[in-house]
Amino acid sequence: MAEPDFDRMTNDEVVAWFQQTDSLAPVIRSMAATPASGTAPETPMVLVSTRLPVELVKHRDRLGEQAASRRSDVIRDALTRYVYIRAGST
């Protein structure tokens, strides 16, 4: 059986995979101590948890699947643009 490609799977496919699997070995093998690029991020990061409307997240995920982009990357980019635009208007 081929190992799952979590980066290409939809959220529903990932959930279904976890519900059907007997072994987490593919997940453990896919883990890395550093980002995919193999280098540490240049900018220190802080984990921020926030609540967003369900429909907004669903819409973002649909767009993200088409562009093969991660949810965190899109939200980070949108927030960065917003902050820089607001900072420039003051």
- The string of pLDDT tens digits covering residues 17-72 is 888 888 777 777 766 655 554 555 577 888 888 898 999 888 888 877 777 778 88
Ordered alpha helix ranges (H), 1-90: 11-20, 25-30, 54-67, 71-88
Question: What is the Cα Rg of the chain in Å?
Answer: 17
The confidence score (pLDDT) of residue 20 equals 85
pLDDT digits (tens, 9 = 90+) for 63-87: 777 777 788 888 888 888 888 888 8
Provide the residue count of the chain.
90
pTM value is 0.46
- The dihedral region occupied by 85, where left means phi > 0, alpha psi between -120 and 50, and beta the remainder, is alpha
Instruction: Tell me phi and psi for residue 77, to 5 degrees.
Output: -65, -45
